[in-house]
Amino acid sequence: MTAIQKHNVNVFGKGVKPILFAHGYGCDQKMWRFITPAFENEYKIVLFDHIGFGKSDTSTYSISKYHSLSAYADDVLAICEELDLHDVIFIGHSVSAMIGVLAANKQPERFSKLVLIGPSPCYVNDGNYTGGFTEENIKGLIDSLESDYLNWSNTMAPVIMGNPEKPELGQELAKSFCSSNIDIAKDFARITFLSDNRADLQKVTTDTLILQCSEDVIAPEVVGQYVHQQIPGSRLVKMEAVGHCPNLSAPDETITAIKEFLKV
């Protein structure tokens, strides 16, 4: 099976320079539908689904292979290789921000720019580092998710999304969570929330933009500041957008910030 088949890859757009969009936890490529139209005329758009989500093929999945975010970075590189993509602009949301960091560190010659939306290299507070969650918080979150994934999804999705005045967005995220492969989603949650990629940030040589939302319960502002401080030469934009999914809740602001970065 090719990576293109495995990850339900879709390529469109009138340009030559590729933008590869990578969705966050529990989501799929449809989450970029408000963003991609702004780039179709100038770029080649590449969308895909992480294994276990969207219309990906799960037949090759095993926890022994997908035991860390590094395996997901390898999937990104496999897509790039099969499509012969170079000078790639990688736009990653949430956990895919760190997946992009890992991919760019493995093959820096493959990427020209990284856009990290709501990144977090480590969710657990550790000494002087504030990730936003205590060990007990994370344990409780994972236990709740593993014991009743569907209830967890319906409860947590609106919290993660924020924007309570737009309940349809939280409902869409919950529906996306619930349509995922539950076993893989549980594995991926454990890997995501227990990951620690802080040491990988200083290795980044790719030009990087960090988009930090306001009132983000998953990746609070202090985390965005940390990522900015650790990635050499990175740029940080504090957005007015509230919550963890500005690609859905504030597409215009997200598009503007990305376009400003791509001009440089």
**CATH of the domain spanning 3-121+197-263, picked from 3.40.50.1820, 1.20.1260.10, 3.30.565.10, 2.130.10.10:** 3.40.50.1820
Contact 69, 99 (CB under 8 A): yes
Contact 83, 113 (CB under 8 A): no
What was the pLDDT predicted at 205? 98
Does the annotation mark 153 as catalytic?
no
Contact 250, 166 (CB under 8 A): no
Distance CA 234, CA 228 (A): 6
Please state whether beta strands 207-214 and 88-93 pair in parallel, antiparallel, or not at all (unpaired).
Answer: unpaired
What was the pLDDT predicted at 264? 65
Local structure of 244: helix, strand or coil: coil
What was the pLDDT predicted at 121? 98
Which one of 216, 228, 234, 249 is the catalytic residue?
A: 216
Give pLDDT < 50 ranges for the chain.
none
Contact 226, 219 (CB under 8 A): no
Distance CA 51, CA 6 (A): 7
Does the annotation mark 94 as catalytic?
yes
Does the annotation mark 148 as catalytic?
no
Using the 8-state DSSP alphabet, how is residue 18 labeled? Answer: E
In the chain, count H helices and then E strands.
11, 7
Which one of 96, 153, 244, 249 is the catalytic residue?
A: 244
Q: Please state the three-class secondary structure of 26-94 as a single string.
A: CCCHHHHCCCHHHCCCCCEEEECCCCCCCCCCCCCCCCCCCCCHHHHHHHHHHHHHHCCCCCEEEEEEC
Which one of 7, 56, 93, 94 is the catalytic residue?
A: 94
- Domains of the chain: which residue ranges? 3-121+197-263
